[in-house]
Amino acid sequence: MKPVFVPHEAYQNFVLNQLNKHYSDGILTLVSSDWPIITKLWITDISYITTFLSDEYSVKGPAPRDPASMLRSYILFLLTNPTIGITKWVDELYRVPLYAILSGFEPGDIPGVGTFYDFFNRLWGLEFDNVKPNLKHTRKKKRKKKPKKGKKQAPTNPGIVKKLIARFLRDGAKKKTLPADRLFEFFQSQILSVSAKLGLLDNLESLSVAGDGTPLVTASFPRSKSSCDCYAQGVAKCNCPRLYSQPDCNSGWDSSREKYYNGYSLYMISACDSFYDLPLYPRLHPASRHDSVCFVTGSIEFAQRFSLGTINRFLLDAAHDAEAIYELLEHQGIEAFIDLNPRTKANFSSEGDIKISAKGIPICPIGKEMKPNGYDKSQNRQKWRCSLANGAKNSCKNPCSKAKYGRTFHTFSEDNLRLFPKTARSSDKWKFVYKRRTSVERSNKREKVDYHLEAGRHRSTKMWYIRLYGIMMCQHIDAWYSVKKIQ
């Protein structure tokens, strides 16, 4: 049977009536810490989920639980007890009448654990819980050598970023349907759009975003079991395929914890101009995948799906310092703000007596770095000026130019997008913009520390995506609450 749409006003009236019924006689009381939770759900209208998922319900059969109440209950679970599982959360709904009321259920009339998972299945756009098949061959791998302290794991396939981007620039990329598209479509239309109306995403016509990867530990060890009877026949070690409970996961290096882990590499794109460090788009990759490879996939998918504004800047750390990534962002009309990877310290020679440092700064004949002096958009070039020149005065004892304002030099972005970005790295503007890159790290911290993302005891990509999107919704709802509280 199709679910019946329940408007948000009806939910608010239900909450008022139930609170008066169960909390007005003094037997049950509300404490001060309950009111922020009540307010957050009061201002969060997710009733559209009923219409959004209507096609996923059959015409015949028993009446289903209200999808809005199911999603609201899951959000409440993440806001209050994110470290417990769904089974214990159902017990909490029975134990605490307030949680049932705020979810949209009458106390005592609580959906079962299976009802929650049936609802989760309708949010997932794939028949199977994982993207890859559970049955796969295992390859014997050499024992991995730990990287040096503080160092990230090197790409397993050098040159793959250049190949992927070259293929995209040559052939383009068709928008492929992803299992998590249904989650992002709802998240964008009902959560991101509200944050945009409240002004929490800053300037949508010229949006600045940041991207970064973070380890997501799902289990201590990869779990698999045999799919054959070789062991019963006396064969201790065989090459038959094994059944994996988490086929989309593998092992990767966590530079912050300085150890290998099993799970995913979560690549997050966030609005870096947002005061609340709000997330925009998540993508789960195998743990062994390098951040630069994750960026190529995540940024292209995000550009194909994000429809609320125009991306103007992309802020990335030194792990993304590859010339192909600059070419990709240039092709998309996005200005790249990427820190240089200190892999080379040699200076580059130019046609004249000016050399170029490893940071892309011209160096005059006496070894002084020149200072930026504006960007010429008409000719797409950066102007540099003698660092010892001040107005019409020049303190250089042996000036290399007779010009009144000292020696000038131009660098063209088309010559080398990596060394000569549109905004010079030594300029105050670049430093002002780039300092917001850490917003994505704060966003990841909120997901992993504040909302205990890794506490989910899930064995499927489906449930990890649902938990991740639920936490992202909570981050936006927290921002709405802060804005309403100020107003």
Tell me the DSSP string of 383-421.
EEE-TTEETTEE--SS-S---TT--EEEEETTT-TTTS-
Distance (Å, whole) CA 120 – CA 113:
11
Distance (Å, whole) CA 485 – CA 487:
5
pLDDT higher for 139 or 243?
243
Q: Is 135 helix (H, G, I), strand (E, B) or coil?
A: strand
Distance (Å, whole) CA 286 – CA 288:
5
> pLDDT grade, residue 325 (50/70/90)?
very high
What's the whole-number mean pLDDT along residues 88-103? 96
- The kind and range of the H/E element at 163 are helix 160-171
Which of 21, 18, 14 minimizes the C-alpha distance to 66?
A: 14
pLDDT of 455-481, one tens digit each? 999 999 999 999 999 999 999 999 999
Residues 475, 447: contact at Cβ < 8 Å?
yes
Token pair 């250089």 in the structure block, residue: 396
Single pTM value for the model: 0.89
Instruction: Tell me: pLDDT of 370 over 90.
Output: no
The string of DSSP letters for 67-86 reads: HHHHHHHHHHHHHH-TTS-H
Token pair 């329940």 in the structure block, residue: 6
What's the whole-number mean pLDDT along residues 6-26? 93
Instruction: Catalogue all structural domains in the chain, each as residue range(s) with its CATH number.
Output: 8-123 (no CATH), 135-339+436-486 (3.30.420.10), 348-424 (no CATH)
pLDDT higher for 293 or 412?
293
Contacts of 352 (CB under 8 A, 6+ apart): none
Longest CA span, the chain: 91
pLDDT of 36-46, one tens digit each? 999 999 999 99
What's the pLDDT at 140?
A: 55
Distance (Å, whole) CA 150 – CA 253:
11
Distance (Å, whole) CA 67 – CA 76:
14
Residues facing residue 213 across a β-bridge = 267
What's the pLDDT at 419?
A: 82
Structure tokens at 398: 């042996």
Token pair 């993302």 in the structure block, residue: 453
Distance (Å, whole) CA 484 – CA 487:
5
State the Cα angle at 152 between 291 and 324, rounded to 5°: 40
Distance (Å, whole) CA 100 – CA 86:
14
What's the pLDDT at 349?
A: 57
By mean pLDDT, which of 189-193, 227-231, 261-265, 356-360 is the weakest? Answer: 356-360
Which of 247, 250, 36, 21 minimizes the C-alpha distance to 126?
A: 247
Residues 293, 155: contact at Cβ < 8 Å?
yes
Q: Is 217 exposed, middle or buried, given 0-12, 13-18 or 19+ CB atoms closer than 10 A?
A: middle
Other CB atoms closer than 10 Å to residue 46's CB: what's the count?
21
Instruction: Tell me: pLDDT of 343 over 70.
Output: no
Instruction: Tell me: pLDDT of 144 over 80.
Output: no
Residues facing residue 412 across a β-bridge = 381
Inter-axis angle of helices 67-80 and 34-42, to 10 degrees?
A: 150
What's the pLDDT at 462?
A: 97
CA 222 to chain centre: 24
- The kind and range of the H/E element at 116 are helix 113-123
Residues 242, 226: contact at Cβ < 8 Å?
yes
> pLDDT grade, residue 106 (50/70/90)?
very high
What's the pLDDT at 286?
A: 94
The string of DSSP letters for 24-77 reads: SSSSS---TTHHHHHHHHHS---THHHHHTGGGS-SSSSPPPPHHHHHHHHHHH
Residues 281, 290: contact at Cβ < 8 Å?
no
What's the pLDDT at 348?
A: 57
Instruction: Tell me: pLDDT of 207 over 80.
Output: yes
Distance (Å, whole) CA 461 – CA 248:
7
Q: How many Cα atoms sit within 13 Å of 474 on the Cβ side?
A: 28
340 Rama sector, left if φ>0, alpha if ψ -120 to 50, beta otherwise: beta
State the Cα angle at 366 between 361 and 367, rounded to 5°: 35
